[in-house]
Amino acid sequence: MHLIVRSLGLTEYVAVWKAMRSFTDSRDEQTLDEIWINQHTPVFTQGQSGRQENVLEPRDIPVVHADRGGQVTYHGPGQLVVYLLFDLRRMDLNARRLVDGIEESIVSVLAGYSIGATTQRDAPGVYVEASKIASVGLRIRRGCSYHGLSLNVAMDLEPFDRINPCGHVDLKMSQVKDFGGPTDLALVTKDLVRVLSHQFRFTSLIHTKGIGDSLVA
């Protein structure tokens, strides 16, 4: 199977979110699956099960209510955000298997950096020791996925103190840098794309940049 890997650079969250929805609504059986790679300018996003009391003190950072699963999280520079726009029916995947595959891919990449990571069945994401290093939040629409994962690499973690991350009081957030892993997002991106493409059985990668005018509202 072919996979388009789209590098977007530093982006504004709402614009990319709208583009993901537009892509999902307009795709058909012949549309190739895509992975969108980006970092976001600082933003808090509330998932569909998010509660306002978990946004403690956002101050100068905007809060966006998104249509993904999960609760509140933070995105900012130095964090790798990967959106998976997959036709799940064509891939014979359900939401649980998609989440499991994403988490297993992150754990595998971190193992390559000698970072021992685990998952928790009742709390999506990836954990190192007593901290959360990666989050997963998805939306399934018309049998297709969008949104995806965020992996903290080398970022300012302070904004996480302004929320209860993922709705958990006192949840500690961490990043690859904390455990002696690479701080080069290009390297981590390359490793994660390679593992994700293998995990979901893509045999050919088509690399490109930008979203394209047709998907920008």
Question: Looking at the predicted structure, is the pLDDT value of residue 217 above 70?
Answer: no
For residues 171-179, give the mean pLDDT: 97
Containing domain of residue 12, as a range?
A: 2-215
Contact at 8 Å (CB) between 42 and 59?
no
Residue 133 burial class via C-beta count within 10 angstroms: exposed 0-12, middle 13-18, buried 19 and up: buried
pLDDT of residue 36: 98
- Count of domains in the chain? 1
Q: What percent of the chain has a predicted confidence (pLDDT) above 90?
A: 88
Catalytic residues: 166
Q: What is the pLDDT of residues 56-79, one digit of tens each?
A: 999 999 999 999 988 899 999 999
Band the pLDDT of 155: cuts 50, 70, 90: very high
Place of tokens 């998907």: 215
Q: Do residues 71 and 49 lie in contact, with contact meaning Cβ atoms separated by under 8 Å?
A: yes
Cα(20)–Cα(165) distance, rounded to whole angstroms? 24
What percent helix, strand, coil does the chain show, rounded to 5?
A: 30, 35, 35
- pLDDT at residue number 215: 52
CB atoms within 10 A of CB 18: 14
Mean pLDDT across the stretch 37-48? 95
Instruction: Kindly report the CATH number assigned to the domain that includes residue 171.
Output: 3.30.930.10
- Burial pattern 82-108, b for ≥16 Cβ within 10 A else e, equals bbbbbbbeebebeeeebbbbbbebbbb
- In DSSP notation, 183-214 reads --HHHHHHHHHHHHHHHTT--EEEEEES--GG
Q: Minimal CA–CA distance to 178: which of 135, 134, 133, 136?
A: 133
